[in-house]
Amino acid sequence: QSALTQPASVSGSPGQSITISCTGTTSDVGAYNYVSWYQQHPGKAPKLMIYDVTERPSGVSNRFSGSKSDNTAFLTISGLQAEDEADYYCSSFTTTTTWVFGGGTKLTVL
Amino acid sequence: QMQLQESGPGLAKPSETLSLTCTVSGGPISRSNYYWAWIRQPPGKGLEWIGSVFYKGSTYYNPSLKSRATLSVDTSKNQFSLKLTSVTAADTSIYFCARQSPILHSVDNWGQGTLVTVSS
């Protein structure tokens, strides 16, 4: 199975909004609304930020939001803060009962 | 709140078998139909799902590992395990054990990760 496609890096200034894309196929992202997003700071385990495309777990800031169009999912972070600087990974359930991750996107807060 | 902790050797030799265990605390591993997963991350690279196991024994694997991975559960010890055979330097990674929620369809709880280096 191929990894989902994410941009290698994105950047934004404090207070701005950024969007990270995650492109898959009709066998994963496009098949179900089972896309999730994870935030990973250096040396730490990933943290779930978005599940089922648009849902936020308890305790996650409402500055984080998710959406999907066809085979591409999106993570938007509004009101960028310094603490948002991290790596972000998308993940999707697939039609072959497996899970696939994206290659990761490094977010830099300028 | 459940906690997960990986354990096992930090070094494996090429062609040998890598074995890791994840100990779950704060609740029974058979709770709420969770799946239990192993996910790895080569140093400086992205995440790769290895496989998932249900407490009753059903398993799902990443086909790219070509049957080298085996996951199992020991409910009496509240642990689940990973065995990866015929390892090479490409298997050098941080290995995370994790809990997959059937409701959230995602990983909602992670261990801290353990680095395994494959080298002679």
CA B95, CA B112: separation in Å to the nearest integer?
Answer: 9
| Shortest Cα–Cα distance, B78 to chain A (Å) | 21
Q: Note the pLDDT of residue B74.
A: 95
Residue B108 has its nearest CB partner, among A48, A97, A103, at A48
B38 closest CA partner among B89, B79, B87:
B79
Residue B61: strand pairing partners: B51
Q: Which of B61, B62, B106 sits opposite A91 (nearest CB)?
A: B106
**Chain B interface with A: residues with Cβ < 8 Å:** 37, 39, 45-49, 52, 60-64, 96, 100-101, 104-108, 110-113
Q: Residues of A with CB below 8 A from B107's CB?
A: 36, 38, 46, 48, 91
Q: Given a cut of 90, is residue B102 above it in pLDDT? A: no
pLDDT at A17 over 90: yes
- The nearest alpha carbon in chain B to A36 belongs to B106
CA dist., res. B5 & res. B25, Å (int): 8
Could you report the per-residue pLDDT of B30-74, keeping only the tens digit for each?
877 899 999 999 999 999 999 999 988 899 999 999 799 999 999
Q: What contacts 24+ positions apart, CB below 8 Å, involve A17-21?
A: A17/A76, A17/A77, A17/A78, A17/A79, A17/A80, A18/A76, A18/A77, A18/A80, A18/A107, A19/A74, A19/A75, A19/A76, A19/A77, A20/A74, A20/A75, A20/A76, A20/A77, A20/A88, A20/A90, A20/A105, A20/A107, A21/A72, A21/A73, A21/A74
A57:B112 CB<8 A:
no
Supply the DSSP string of B25-75, one letter for each residue: ESS-TTGGG-EEEEEEE-TTS--EEEEEEETTS-EEE-GGGTT-EEEEEET
Contacts of B60 in chain A (CB under 8 A): 97-98
Answer whether A55 touches B (CB < 8 Å): yes
Q: How do the residues of chain B divide into helix, strand and coil, expressed in percent and rounded to 5? A: 10, 50, 40
pLDDT at residue B57, rounded to an integer: 86
A108 neighbors A14 (Cβ within 8 angstroms): no
Contact A48, B37 (CB under 8 A): no
Res. B103: pLDDT tops 90: no
Using CA coordinates, name the residue in chain B closest to A92.
B106
pLDDT at B63: 94
C-alpha span between A44 and A47 (Å, rounded): 9
% chain B with pLDDT above 90? 88
Nearest CB to A45 within list B49, B96, B101: B96
Q: Which of A4, A48, A8, A53 is nearest to A26 (CA)?
A: A4
- Structure confidence by residue, pLDDT tens digits, A70-108: 999 999 999 999 999 999 999 999 999 999 999 999 999
Contact: B62, A98; criterion CB under 8 Å: yes
- Per-residue model confidence as pLDDT tens digits over A20-62: 999 999 999 999 999 999 999 999 999 999 999 999 999 999 9
